[in-house]
């Protein structure tokens, strides 16, 4: 029984590209999620009402697959957290980010009628796709950039917040007496400043006084600069990360002439705590390089995988 559960665990693990059935399972789940989300969109078109029965059937089938997947993940949770007792491992999975997303994905299936909040929860299924993609190279790079640049991003967002608050109060004080119905309170000014600074410009609220228009022009220019700050930080981070990872791949595989893969270790990874030798013995993975924080190093005998590590891996031929 344990051998069967272990094999099921290996198959349903997302991003286990060294296992062909697991790779096919990832593709299958991705197709199911896309089908489910597509039905959510198509059900909003009244012109397709004659197909609503088919849409409901697809929704029932896809959610049933999600339920089976959720049960299997609970059943094999002790392999995800091997250092914990079975009950604790199940609890850790249920309360993890992935476990919560999966639970919210299936809840509307049981409480769909009557309660709007449960119907809205069906949108959570879209985040299922993020969960799939987060285990592959492309999304790992995005997470690494956001994690490394989080202080600069937070600083730029704080600047935007200050500009929004200051401009909303200024515009309220200037325009309130002239058009009290539009700038009734500070919140009205806040709505105007957000739509202006973020360059949306709905046009439902706008200044009519000379001073208000001058402030509007100044604030619009400030908004362009403010929004460009986090965009520039993230763009520069992508360039830096791409250059570093390419350099790491070249230096790590130059002598071996082998294709490598970049994988970010998340909190639910079964590799956490494993040494480079254990990765090779248990999973058929050769650890070439490790990027931890701002450092890129070659793994030693004392190295153990930690959450947030970016691993440069080579999948050994016999494991594929």
Q: Which two tokens stand for residue 144?
A: 């690494």
- Average pLDDT, stretch 104-118? 65
Q: Which two tokens stand for residue 158?
A: 């704080």
- Average pLDDT, stretch 53-78? 89
Q: Which fold has domain 150-230?
A: Helix Hairpins (1.10.287)
Query: CATH classification of 256-319, choosing from 3.30.2130.10, 3.30.70.1450, 3.40.50.200, 3.90.1150.10?
Result: 3.30.70.1450
Q: In what order do the strands lie in the sheet with 261-264?
A: 261-264, 310-315, 285-292, 295-297
Lowest mean pLDDT among 73-77, 101-105, 230-234: 101-105
Q: How far, in Å, CA of 75 to CA of 7, rounded?
A: 12
Q: How far, in Å, CA of 233 to CA of 155, rounded?
A: 11
- Output the pLDDT for position 250: 57
- Output the pLDDT for position 54: 92
Q: Is residue 280 exposed (0-12), middle (13-18) or buried (19+ Cβ within 10 Å)?
A: middle
* pTM of the entire predicted model: 0.56
Lowest mean pLDDT among 29-43, 123-137, 164-178, 304-318: 123-137
Residue pLDDT, tens place only, 186-232: 777 888 888 887 767 677 778 888 988 898 888 888 888 877 888 88
Q: How far, in Å, CA of 115 to CA of 122, rounded?
A: 12
Instruction: Inform me whether the pLDDT recorded for 267 exceeds 80.
Output: no
Q: Which residue has tokens 């809205």?
A: 120
- Output the pLDDT for position 294: 59
Residue pLDDT, tens place only, 145-195: 777 788 888 888 888 888 888 888 888 888 888 888 888 887 778 888 888
Please spell the DSSP secondary structure of 60-76, one letter per residue. HHHHHHHHHHHHHHHHT
Q: In sequence order, what are the residues at sequence separation of 6 or more whose Cβ sits closer than 8 angstroms to the Cβ of residue 211?
A: 174
- Average pLDDT, stretch 100-119? 67
- Output the pLDDT for position 61: 92
- Output the pLDDT for position 63: 86
Domain boundary assignment for the chain: 2-133, 150-230, 256-319
Instruction: Inform me whether the pLDDT recorded for 266 exceeds 60.
Output: yes
Q: What angle do CA 73, 94, 146 make, to 5 degrees?
A: 95
Residue 283 zone, left/alpha/beta (φ > 0; ψ -120 to 50; rest): alpha
Q: Contact, 13 vs 270, CB < 8 A?
A: yes
Across the chain, mean pLDDT equals 77
pLDDT category at 132 given cuts 50, 70, 90 is: low
Q: Contact, 99 vs 93, CB < 8 A?
A: yes
Instruction: Inform me whether the pLDDT recorded for 254 exceeds 50.
Output: no
Domain 2-133 architecture: Up-down Bundle (1.20)
- Average pLDDT, stretch 258-273? 68
- Output the pLDDT for position 138: 57
Other Cβ atoms within 10 Å of 42 Cβ, number = 14
Residue pLDDT, tens place only, 30-52: 888 888 888 888 888 888 889 88
């Amino acid at each position: 029984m344990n051998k069967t559960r272990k094999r099921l665990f290996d198959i349903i693990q997302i991003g286990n590209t060294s296992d062909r059935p697991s790779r096919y399972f990832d593709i299958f789940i991705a197709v199911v999620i896309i089908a489910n989300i597509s039905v959510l969109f198509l059900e909003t078109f009244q012109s397709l009402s004659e197909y609503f029965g088919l849409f409901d059937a697809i929704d029932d089938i896809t959610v049933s697959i999600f339920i089976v997947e959720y049960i299997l993940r609970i059943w094999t949770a002790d392999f995800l957290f091997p250092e914990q007792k079975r009950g604790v491992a199940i609890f850790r999975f249920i309360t993890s980010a992935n476990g919560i997303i999966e639970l919210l994905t299936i809840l509307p299936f049981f409480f769909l009628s009557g309660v709007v909040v449960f119907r809205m929860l069906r949108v959570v299924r879209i985040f299922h796709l993020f969960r799939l993609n987060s285990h592959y190279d492309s999304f790992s790079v995005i997470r690494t950039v956001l994690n490394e640049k989080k202080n600069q991003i937070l600083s730029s967002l704080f600047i935007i917040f200050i500009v929004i608050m200051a401009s909303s109060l200024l515009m309220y004080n200037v325009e309130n007496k002239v058009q009290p119905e539009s700038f009734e309170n500070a919140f009205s000014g806040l709505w105007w400043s957000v739509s202006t600074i973020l360059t949306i410009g709905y046009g439902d609220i706008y200044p009519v006084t000379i001073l208000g228009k001058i402030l509007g022009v100044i604030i619009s220019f400030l908004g362009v600069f403010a929004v460009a700050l986090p965009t520039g930080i993230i763009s520069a981070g992508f360039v830096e990360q791409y250059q570093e990872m390419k350099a790491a791949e070249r230096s790590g595989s130059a002598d071996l002439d082998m294709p490598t893969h970049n994988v970010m270790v998340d909190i639910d990874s079964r590799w956490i705590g494993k040494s480079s030798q254990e990765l090779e013995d248990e999973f058929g993975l050769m650890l070439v390089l490790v990027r931890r924080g701002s450092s890129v190093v070659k793994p030693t005998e004392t190295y153990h995988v930690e959450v947030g590590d970016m691993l440069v891996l080579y999948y050994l031929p016999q494991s594929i």
